[in-house]
A and B are shown apart, each in its own frame.
Chain A
Amino acid sequence: MNSEVLNTLYIQTQGVYLRLEGDTLRIEHEDVTLRNVPLHHLGGLALFGNVLVSPYLLHRCAQDGLEVTWFSESGRFQGRLAGPVSGNVLLRQAQYRALDNPSSSLYLAQRFVEGKLKNARLVLQRAVRERGETEALALALYEHEAALRQLPQARSLDEVRGLEGGAASAYFAAFGDLLLSGEFRFDGRNKRPPRDPVNALLSFVYALLTTQCTAALEGVGLDPQAGFLHALRPGRHALALDLLEEFRAWWADRLALSLLNRKQLAPEHFEVRPGGAVLLNEEGRKAVIVAFQTRRLETVQHPLFKEPVPVGLLPHIQARLLARYLRGDLPQYLPFVGR
């Protein structure tokens, strides 16, 4: 499962060996050459888990300013190759400049919210198609349409956050109607700690996805803490949370719903503590992680690319598009919107 997106080679096959052969990168697995890629084609390497790289290839990457980034097999950021000179400082400078500039901050916050609203609308529309309209679903769809119309006119971050908040509360008011199994109920979002199984599941999937978004931003050299939509707070990965907004409904909520509706999760996967906190137990966490990893490997169509891309690479693609926008290389940032 290796793919090339935006000149970055993503290696996810375990036990692969990468080496330098002239001006070519050779991908080997158990002494068989899988592929040869001319180095001048590449802007970077993203390596997941047990991928070996020859020292000479690493030297060459450092010399040529090719980004090499290591992730765990499940996608957590581990580290990055720092060559003699790197463009990262300019990228981070551009990121902080955009953060200081009210109009570019507003622009990016609008894009993240646009992605969130459009993807949430998809989830709601699908539910209406599949099992009919309920009052809450109709209201939530109406709120999303209204927010999407008003979003381009928003003049401040607070206005953008207000539109997002209004749509989100209508969304969660309707979310219970998306549950098919009578075993679970949903009466609104709560967290820290979650107080019912559905909220426990949502918190866990959001946490998994947040690490993916953080890793993707780290991977392209962006500061995951310097976000535009989310307020800056020490230790908070505000930009990762910004990026997460594009994927919450389309990836996390749909995954949670299908686990519940297909009865892959049952009440015995949850632990209810005295006082009312609810957590996934070990079996439950295992089931969610397996489903999450499976989803990462499925491919989908990205609106900007002809080739289907693995779902797990979507945050990486969005991070790279964001970096390109911030460096002035792209005139727009396009949030990911599924189908």
Chain B
Amino acid sequence: MDELDDIFPEIVPAPSQPQEPLPLSALAQYTYCPRRAALILLEGEWEDNEFTLRGTRAHENVDIPQGLLREGVWVERALPLWSERLGLTGRADVVEFVEGVPYPVEYKVSKRWPRELARKAAEVQLCAQALCLEEMFGQSVMEGALFSKSSQRRRVVQFTPELRAATLATISALRKLLQQERLPPPAADERCKHCSLLGVCMPEVPQALRAWRNQQWS
């Protein structure tokens, strides 16, 4: 992690600055669509941090499919994670401890999202979990996995310097987003088709408004 601090000194927050921790789940949302992340955070998921810590206990009942349990592996579900250094807080679906080394496993976000973006979003979230685990346990976490419920398969994710850099960049972008008062513009592309916030977001309206105005002038 230290090498990365040298590569990205500007996006690592100064430790003296106390800051509101970012929810880990927001990183995936932001990667998928910044406006979606902004809408979610503006609509109150943000505030619930202290409550959700106990509220999300429902998650603990997520059953672990047979294929996930292996010999000699200690499994923790709904494990609270945090990083003081990066200002993160949240929970991991599953953390396996393989000979004492934490190994995060994230359930695949949503099968309705376009595949490539969903993969990226899940990887960033998983990598952020790894950064928390490294700080909490003082160990390097080099690998984790994404688990797809529908196919009952897991895919290994390496926490490469590139993925770590992308994750740190996402953290700082999300922090900037929360400081500005305006919503980012809508994506208005294939992402919107299956987005649950379509109705609130109204991605097609700016375009339609432009068209309407042009019509008035002509």
- Chain A contact residues, CB within 8 Å of chain B: 191-193, 203-204, 206-207, 210, 233-237, 273-277, 279-280, 285
Contact = CB atoms under 8 A, between A and B. Distances in A.
Contact of A275 (B41, B43, B46, B81): B81
A273 B79 CA distance: 7
A276 B136 CA distance: 8
16 contacts: A192-B82, A204-B54, A210-B50, A234-B42, A234-B46, A235-B41, A235-B42, A235-B45, A235-B46, A236-B46, A236-B47, A274-B76, A275-B79, A277-B79, A279-B80, A280-B54
A44 B56 CA distance: 36
B53 interface: yes
Contacts of B81: 275, 277
Interface string B1-39: 000000000000000000011000000000000000000
B33 to A, nearest CB: 17
Given A192-B82, A235-B45, A275 B137 contact: yes
Interface of B: 20-21, 41-51, 53-54, 76, 79-82, 89, 95, 97, 102, 133, 136-137, 178
A235 B97 CA distance: 36
Given A235-B46, A235-B48, 19 more contacts: A191-B50, A192-B21, A192-B82, A192-B89, A193-B80, A234-B42, A234-B46, A235-B41, A235-B43, A235-B45, A236-B47, A237-B47, A274-B79, A275-B79, A275-B102, A275-B136, A277-B82, A279-B53, A279-B54
Nearest to B49: A192
Contacts of A276: 136
Contacts of B20: 233
A235 B44 contact: yes
Contacts of B89: 192-193
A273 B45 contact: no
A279 B97 CA distance: 21
A174 B56 CA distance: 33
A34 B47 CA distance: 41
A234 B89 CA distance: 18
Nearest to B181: A234
B43 to A, nearest CB: 7
Given A273-B76, A274-B97, A193 B47 contact: no
A275 B132 CA distance: 10
Contacts of A207: 50-51, 54
B29 to A, nearest CB: 14
A233 B46 CA distance: 9
A277 B47 contact: no
A281 to B, nearest CB: 10
A203 B49 CA distance: 11
B200 to A, nearest CB: 14
Contacts of A279: 53-54, 80
A2 to B, nearest CB: 30
Nearest to B89: A192
Contacts of B54: 204, 207, 279-280, 285
A280 B133 CA distance: 22
A194 to B, nearest CB: 8
A237 B82 CA distance: 23
A236 B48 CA distance: 8
B53 A193 contact: yes
